[in-house]
Amino acid sequence: MKKLALGLGLMALLASVARGQTCKVSFSVVWKDQLNNTRQGLSASDLIWFQKKMAKKYPDVCYLEPSAPLHLVFSISEVPGTKMIDGTEYSRPTFQLSLGRREGDKFVALHSFSERDCPICHPQHDVMEDALKWIHSGGITDKSQGVEVPTSP
């Protein structure tokens, strides 16, 4: 029952936000972890973060559930690694985002983003915000911003 209520609440939230947004481009998310497990879409907490913070900052770039027709896909991967924080080394994955655009029945890589070195940040949110900011500022159509093709999916 809780899952149903949460699902209905999220659908209502999405519907209300979608009505208030003027979408120029839409995207969805595919997550891939270190074991190559994948999942589609934002988690409930990431969706709330996106709607409260990013949708207001970048109203022309809209999130869609994976089943909807998409313009762009954010493919987020965890890459094994270590981070040095205050002189201590921690084993922690780095998050990379590959931005792809639909061309026919395929997605073509347009740009890639890596998390910034910020020990108190939410790394998944950082790479998504970097991609949203790039799209919002005209990165897809502005040749002066260049298109960086990722070296790995």
Element containing residue 39 per DSSP (H, E): strand 38-40
pLDDT of residue 147: 55
Token duo for residue 94: 């780095």
* Boundaries of domain holding 31: 2-142
Q: Answer whether residue 151 is part of any domain.
A: no
Query: Which residues of the chain have a pLDDT value below 70?
Result: 1-21, 68-70, 104-106, 117-121, 143-153
> What is the distance between the alpha carbons of residues 117 and 144, in angstroms, rounded to a whole number?
26
Total domains in the fold of the chain: 1
Domain-embedded: residue 127: yes
Q: Is residue 122 part of a domain?
A: yes
Task: Provide the CA 133 distance to its chain's centre, in angstroms.
Answer: 11
Closest by CA position to 28, among listed 79, 90, 78, 72? 72
Residue 112 pairs with which residues in a beta bridge?
98
Beta strands in 56-120 (DSSP E): 61-63, 72-79, 82-85, 88-91, 94-103, 106-114
pLDDT of 57 reads 94
Q: What is the predicted pLDDT for the residue at 18? A: 45
> Which pLDDT score, from 0 to 100, does residue 133 have?
92
Asked whether residue 88 is domain-assigned, the answer is yes
> Does residue 101 lie in a domain region?
yes
Asked if the structure places residue 65 within a domain, the reply is yes
In a domain, 33, yes or no: yes
Strand, coil or helix: what is 82?
strand
Instruction: Report pLDDT for 100.
Output: 85
| Cα–Cα nearest to 116, from 132, 98, 96, 100 | 96
pLDDT of residue 91: 78
The residue whose two tokens read 């347009």 is: 110
The per-residue pLDDT for 2 is 34
150 within some domain = no
Encoded tokens for 96 = 């990379």
Query: In the prediction, which pLDDT does 5 show?
Result: 30
